[in-house]
Amino acid sequence: MKLAWTTIIICIWLAQCLKGNVNAIRYMPRLEGATYAIRGDYVPMKFYDSLRTSDRSKQELQNKLRNFLENLQKNLTTSTLLSGLDTSISSTQNHFLKLQELSTFFHDASETAGLFARDSEIFYEVTKNSSYALLLKLRQVPMAQPTEIKILLTNYFAEMEFFHIMFSEIMDEALEYTQNVLRAIQKVFIYYADAQRYILQDWNLKPNMVCCKMYMDFLQLYSAQIFKCAADHELNIAYDVYAMAETNAKYIMRQLEFRIQRLFNCFLFKSYQIRCQFLLNAEHDFEKLFSKLEELETYFDIKTKRGRVSALRFRRNFQNENDIIESRVEIADCLPKDFPHGQMQKDLKSCFYFVDKKQPISV
C-alpha cells in the first residue's frame, strides 16, 4: 500500500537523522521537582460543536425516515379514509390532504438529508482544520532550545505533518462518499415531491373514488419503490462511514492533544530526559495512530466496495471485463425515467382533466 511504503521510507530517513541525536539528549540536565503537568485544551471547541451539530442532523434524518413504509401504508389506504366519512366532498378533501402530506413528506425528507449533508461536510472540514491547528501548536514551542533538540523537534513536526496529511486524505474520502449519497437522496426526494405537487395542483384529479384509489395505489407503489432504492442500502453505508469517521476523529484528536500537551510539558520544565523520550523516536510515537488510519481506510474500502473493485481490477487478466463493472445502484437513477408519464396507465391518465401532453415536469 502507498501508505505503508511512504511510512517505511520516512522511518528509514528518520532513523538516520536520529542516530546522531540520541547521545545529545542523554546528557541533558535533569530538572528536579517538576512533577506536575500543565493541562491544556488544545482541540478547538469548534470541533466538538460541529460534531454535535452534525450528529443532531443525522438523528433528525434517521427519525424522519423511520417507519416510512408503514406510514405510507397507513396514510394512503382508501378504506381507512372512507370509514366515518359519508359525503363524497369531505372524503375527496381528505384524500387531497393525504396526498399533500405525502408530497410534503418527501420535500421535508429532502431538506433533512440536505442538512445532514451540509453539517457533516462542516464536521469533516473542521476536523481537518483542527488537526492542522494542533500541528501548528508545535510551532509555538519556545525557540531557544539546544540545537539537538531543535532537530528532534523538526523531525517530530515532520512526522505529525505527515500524519495530518494522511488523516486529511482519509477524512476527504469519507466526506466524498457521504456527500455523494446524501446529495443524491436530497435530489431524488425533491424531484419526487415536486412531481407530486405539480400533479396535485395542475392536473386536476377527478373527485371520484375509483380515480382516487387508482392514483393512491400508483403513489403507494412508486413511493415505496423510490424510497427503498434511494434511502436503503447506500444510506446505511453512509451512516456507518460517518459514524466510523467520527469515532476515529474523536480518538485521534484526543491523541494529538495528548502529544502536544506532553511536548509543552517537556519544554516547560526543560526536563528533556524524563519527559521528552518520545522525541527520540517520533516515528514510533505515531505508530499506533498510523495503524488507526490504515484500519479506517480498510474499513472504508470494504464498506464502499472500492476495495473489491480495485482487487478485481488488479486481477484483470483472470476476469471477464464485465465482472469489474460495479453493480451498485445509482441513487440518481432511483426516480424512473419519464416519471410520471411513462409509468401511468391509460385509465389512470384518464382520471385527470388536464394532462399536459408536453412533459410538464422537468426531471
Ligand X SMILES: *[C@@H]1O[C@H](CO)[C@@H](O)[C@H](O)[C@H]1NC(C)=O
Binding residue for ligand X, selected from 42, 47, 105, 242, defined by CB under 6 A = 105
- Compute the distance between CA of residue 136 and CA of residue 141 in angstroms, rounded to an integer: 10
Least distance (Å) from ligand X to the CB of residue 254? 20
Least distance (Å) from ligand X to the CB of residue 133? 9
* 75 is a contact residue toward ligand X (CB under 6 A): yes
Stretch that binds ligand X, among 65-73, 138-146, 309-317, 332-340 (CB under 6 A): 65-73
Stretch that binds ligand X, among 66-74, 186-194, 265-273, 354-362 (CB under 6 A): 66-74
Write the burial class of residue 15 (CB in 10 Å: 0-12 exposed, 13-18 middle, 19+ buried): exposed
- Compute the distance between CA of residue 59 and CA of residue 29 in angstroms, rounded to an integer: 55
Cα 268 to the chain's mean position, in Å?
40
Least distance (Å) from ligand X to the CB of residue 179? 14
Least distance (Å) from ligand X to the CB of residue 73? 9
* 287 is a contact residue toward ligand X (CB under 6 A): no
Stretch that binds ligand X, among 98-106, 145-153, 189-197, 235-243 (CB under 6 A): 98-106
Of 70 and 321, CB closest to ligand X? 70
# binding residues, ligand X (CB under 6 A) = 11
Q: What is the DSSP letter of 17?
A: H
- Compute the distance between CA of residue 175 and CA of residue 120 in angstroms, rounded to an integer: 8
Least distance (Å) from ligand X to the CB of residue 261? 23
Least distance (Å) from ligand X to the CB of residue 30? 40
Residue type present at position 264: F
3-class secondary-structure state, position 205: strand
Least distance (Å) from ligand X to the CB of residue 101? 5
Residue type present at position 138: L
Write the burial class of residue 55 (CB in 10 Å: 0-12 exposed, 13-18 middle, 19+ buried): middle
- Compute the distance between CA of residue 345 and CA of residue 218 in angstroms, rounded to an integer: 9
Least distance (Å) from ligand X to the CB of residue 352? 21
Of 223 and 271, CB closest to ligand X? 223
Of 12 and 97, CB closest to ligand X? 97
- Radius of gyration, CA atoms only, the chain: 29
Stretch that binds ligand X, among 34-42, 68-76, 258-266, 308-316 (CB under 6 A): 68-76
* 227 is a contact residue toward ligand X (CB under 6 A): no
- Compute the distance between CA of residue 175 and CA of residue 163 in angstroms, rounded to an integer: 18
Three cell numbers, residue 315: 486481477
CB 57 within 8 A of CB 115: yes
Q: What is the DSSP letter of 333?
A: G
- Compute the distance between CA of residue 82 and CA of residue 77 in angstroms, rounded to an integer: 9
Binding residue for ligand X, selected from 6, 59, 71, 80, defined by CB under 6 A = 71
Judged by CB under 6 A, the chain residues 117 through 156 that form the site for ligand X are 122, 125-126, 129
* 72 is a contact residue toward ligand X (CB under 6 A): yes
Residues that bind ligand X (CB under 6 A): 68, 71-72, 75, 101-102, 105, 122, 125-126, 129
